[in-house]
Amino acid sequence: MFFKLDSFALTGIEAIKVTIEVHISRGLPGLHIVGLPGQAVSESRQRVRSAVINSGFEFPVRKVIINLSPADIRKEGSLYDLPIALSIMAASGQIESSRFSCSCFIGELSLDGRINPVRGLISMAEKAEELDKKYFFVPYETAAQASMFKKVDIMPCRDLKSTVDILNGKSRAIPIDRYQEDETDNADGASPDFSEVKGQLKAKRALEIAAAGMHNLLLTGPPGSGKTMLAKRVISILPPMDIKQRMEVTRIHSLCDERMEGLASRRPFISPHHTVSRAGFIGGGLVPRPGAISLAHRGVLFLDELSQFPSWLIEDLRQPLESREVIIARNRNSYCFPCSFMLIAADNPCKCGFWGDGMKACSCSERELARYWRNLSGPILDRIDMKAQVNRLPEDQYLDNADSEASSVIKSRVKKAHAAQKERYRGQKAVKYNSEAGQNILNRWLRCGAVPGKTIARVSKRFQLSARGMSGIIKVARTIADLEGSREIRQEHILEAASYRKAENFG
């Protein structure tokens, strides 16, 4: 007796089709799984046997061979429990359904037959739609993640018994609400707000520009000046994600959190500790998973106390900051994880923290100062478009009870800038924000006279900028012009952008 049905495997962030083939024959009773299964797949033998019996069905007392095809790709995780159980029951004659050929299945089984959630549902639903499958049987708890796919019917299942009833036509799947795209802002009203930050007008301006164009920003200043407080409030001025961005974020986070309910509603804010491992930061592991930089995709990666991070970990950011993706090679396979994030780094200017401070003298020697910043190389600093000094707050400003500008007011300006960029880069797949603009776009701006070239040349000569540095100034100037509603980049925009290129503590 032979039977087969379709499921999926995850290779990085992508899903590929896996066919579950079952052959039941005479011989010593047992369940054998072949096709390069991982440890969790091998252990499914005990889960499947108990789930089938506890759901009121019979487990065949014969030789059962399960093949996971293609056999040259390693299968990891517990998502094959449900399709293996259904295949065995169909091969033994306990289930007959016309839906098998046009369906695919994923789900982890408990010993009592309940179906638990698995990772990577969005990637698999996208693949099911690509394969023209009509039905996709998924765990009930995470079915809402795939609610935006309209070409495939998502069939939420609570347990093995109800899944069999759906296949036999005895009952219907639990309906889920289809996702309706809207422009509502799902930000939590209790999140940190810029109205709580006193003073620091220059730093707030820098953060507004950085958020408007998704530019990388380095904040430096003495201890207690408010660098971390400012950085944590950036999320409150970023506009909500569109449906495509929400799917991208959910796809990545579902690889690490199998119990995500529905689509991600807020931009991620990821702040790893400086003791994080390379796999935890960049991604990787025995079964490659996204790291902190990919979890920050379409959001903010905040590196507090930047000088405390190991130099090799900071240098790993070179390629992701340029290409907006990280590629991890493992055993003849390569895995690509997107990582288009806004980098915000914060640190003290020196070991004692008071170099360049007008209120307290620095006690560090030149040698100590050089040692403090040795983790930051020139290429990394060149990839950070903006640098801003955060000075200590004077006593009179701290005691001032006047209300500061609220995040909602700043967000309204940032949203207008994002809307302008959306219109400007319409039809360009790889570019959404000014920070992502390639050299071909900058060349077009220069050719049509949209950028004052003479001003750029003077600034470049003054600061001895690289080609990347000049490109960064043009991008930031374009964002400043968007905030002001200007169609052209004017000289004052270039000069303001240049002021963020060279902060006080970087010469």
Nearest to 88 by CA among 70, 112, 105, 72: 105
What pLDDT is attached to residue 124? 95
Per-position DSSP letters for 95-116, written without gaps between them = ---TTGGGEEE--EEPTTSBEE
Which residues, 6+ apart, have CB-to-CB distance to 308 below 8 Å? 274
Q: Percentage helix, strand, coil, to 5, in the chain? A: 40, 20, 40
What pLDDT is attached to residue 507? 42
Which residues, 6+ apart, have CB-to-CB distance to 72 below 8 Å? 36
The Cα 48–Cα 70 span in angstroms is 21
Count the neighbouring beta carbons within 10 Å of the beta carbon of residue 451: 22
Q: Any idea which residue has 């579950």 for tokens? A: 20
Single-letter amino acid, residue 495: L
What pLDDT is attached to residue 3? 95
Q: Cite the DSSP H helix spans in 405-490.
A: 407-424, 439-447, 453-463, 467-483
The Cα 184–Cα 174 span in angstroms is 27
Whether residue 70 is preceded by a cis peptide bond, meaning omega within 30 degrees of 0, is yes
Structural domains in the chain? 2-168 (3.30.230.10), 194-506 (3.40.50.300)
What pLDDT is attached to residue 506? 45
Helices (H) and strands (E) in the chain, counts: 20, 18
pTM score? 0.88
Residue positions counted in the chain: 507
Give me the residues of the chain with pLDDT under 70, please.
177-190, 401, 503-507
Separation in Å, CA 493 to CA 431, 443, 455: 22, 18, 10
The Cα 474–Cα 472 span in angstroms is 5
The Cα 183–Cα 218 span in angstroms is 31
Work out whether the CA dihedral 349, 355, 358, 360 comes out positive or negative.
positive
Per-position DSSP letters for 31-74, written without gaps between them = EEEESSB-HHHHTHHHHHHHHHHHTT-PPPSSEEEEEEESTTS-
